[in-house]
Amino acid sequence: MAFTITKQVRPNAVWQEMYLQIRKDQRVIIAAEGLWSPESRPLTIIWCGPDGIEGKLANEDYRLPGTNVGALIGKIGDSPILTVGNYWDFYSPYAGPLFLCMNENPDYHSQAGLLHAQMILFDL
């Protein structure tokens, strides 16, 4: 049996707890949709989905360098940061609460939009 819930993810670099406890080796599916806009400098509005801005890789000032700016990212407990994007189906190597956020520079505060993330947790 599986548990399914949909949550909103705000477009900022602050970790947002999804209030789901992930167990080690548990199968999890995250499917996200919507549009959001990371802060761009110089001031230009660029909208993207959960995969972020294609071809614009984040530098060391972002939560997850080397991943698209604006991509949906996550972590489980104190795990390393993981790329989620618009669809992620995995068996968790970690245990703990699930957190999601935008791959954004934590010092930027002018984002817009919203994503909806549907999370499915399967029984072990």
Distances (CA, A) of 108 to 19, 43, 90: 25, 12, 30
Average pLDDT, the chain: 95
Q: What is the DSSP letter of 48?
A: B
pTM strictly above 0.75 = yes
User: Residue 3 in 3-state DSSP?
Assistant: strand
Q: Take residue 23 and report the two structure tokens written for it.
A: 């167990």
pLDDT at 43 over 80: no
Domains present along the chain, CATH in parentheses = 2-122 (2.60.120.430)
d(CA 104, CA 122): 30
Return the pLDDT at 109.
87
d(CA 39, CA 12): 9
